Amino acid sequence: MRPLAYKVHPYQWATIGKEISHIQNATLENVKKFFFQHYAPNNAILVIAGNIDKQQVIDLAEKWFSPIDARNVPERKLSSEPTQKQERKSEVERGVPFDAIFKTYHMCSRNHEDFYAMDIISDIMANGKSSRLYQQLVQKKKLFSEINAYITGDIDPGLLVVSGNLMKNITMKTAEDAINEELDKLKTEWVKEHELNKVKNKVESTMIFSMTNVLNKAMNLAFYELLGDAGNFNTEIEKYREVSPVTIKDMANTMLQPENCSTLYYLSKKH
């Protein structure tokens, strides 16, 4: 799916490598070079969370980290993915029990103001059994056994992904047409306030409950510091609250276009 959606940006391959030979051919020298280029104190974010003594944390950090020299960390320069201007499609056949479809749409980066509307769109479509895709395509029309919509949440411009496992004897065209029909409703119809508020409330409750866990607090603070400012986590809920039906309709008409879409047909081998 990723190599279909990305042609230039490194997001086209997994972190562990694009193919098994990347691991097999890695030498100890390669690994050491990469480690010493990037795993440096001046390229790290340290977060301490929990019932701690501030001075003790400072003392321990100085004890264990101050002897490690700063290094010349390479500047992060990744190739920008060009705007996709033509619909892409690919078909593969694998030894899986059921056919599946994956549709991806390019979207903004994690720090962009439009991120929140795109996240809300993914939740409206497929967050829980009361969501649109589940209600219409799983429960009512029985076209899919399972269907999902999510955003990758990447720091650089990412993807909105719609994926589903087809029921037996459902054609790929029928399944794809049904997905497109539901997505098109976001372009032509206003999202009702009660539906929007339901999704926003779920987002807010998820974020609040996540903060009851010390590890989640630490990870959130580290991630938002990586994005630029750990304090921005405190304003996230308000940014989701500001998403309006107008914003959703605008984003749907901008992003959910055929020329911005890459579709992977994942077919099960017929025996």
- pTM (predicted TM-score): 0.91
Nearest to 104 by CA among 15, 4, 178, 183: 4
**Cα–Cα dist 138/179, whole Å:** 11
Are the CB atoms for 156 and 109 separated by under 8 Å?
yes
Q: In the structure, what pLDDT confidence band is assigned to residue 14 with cuts at 50, 70 and 90?
A: confident
Contact residues for 68 (Cβ-Cβ < 8 A; gap 6+): 40, 41
Are the CB atoms for 248 and 185 separated by under 8 Å?
no
Kindly report, residue by residue over 197-207, the tens digit of the pLDDT.
999 999 999 99
Q: In the structure, what pLDDT confidence band is assigned to residue 271 with cuts at 50, 70 and 90?
A: low
Are the CB atoms for 106 and 260 separated by under 8 Å?
yes
Kindly report, residue by residue over 78-90, the tens digit of the pLDDT.
889 999 999 999 9
Kindly report, residue by residue over 33-49, the tens digit of the pLDDT.
999 989 999 999 999 99
- DSSP code, position 107: -
Are the CB atoms for 137 and 144 separated by under 8 Å?
yes
The domain ranges of the chain are 2-65, 88-268
pLDDT at 17: 79
Contact residues for 40 (Cβ-Cβ < 8 A; gap 6+): 68, 70, 71, 73
Are the CB atoms for 1 and 104 separated by under 8 Å?
yes
Are the CB atoms for 137 and 181 separated by under 8 Å?
no
**Cα–Cα dist 115/244, whole Å:** 13
Q: In the structure, what pLDDT confidence band is assigned to residue 269 with cuts at 50, 70 and 90?
A: confident
- Chain Cα centroid distance, residue 65: 33
Kindly report, residue by residue over 114-139, the tens digit of the pLDDT.
999 999 999 999 999 999 999 999 99
Q: What is the CATH number of domain 88-268?
A: 3.30.830.10
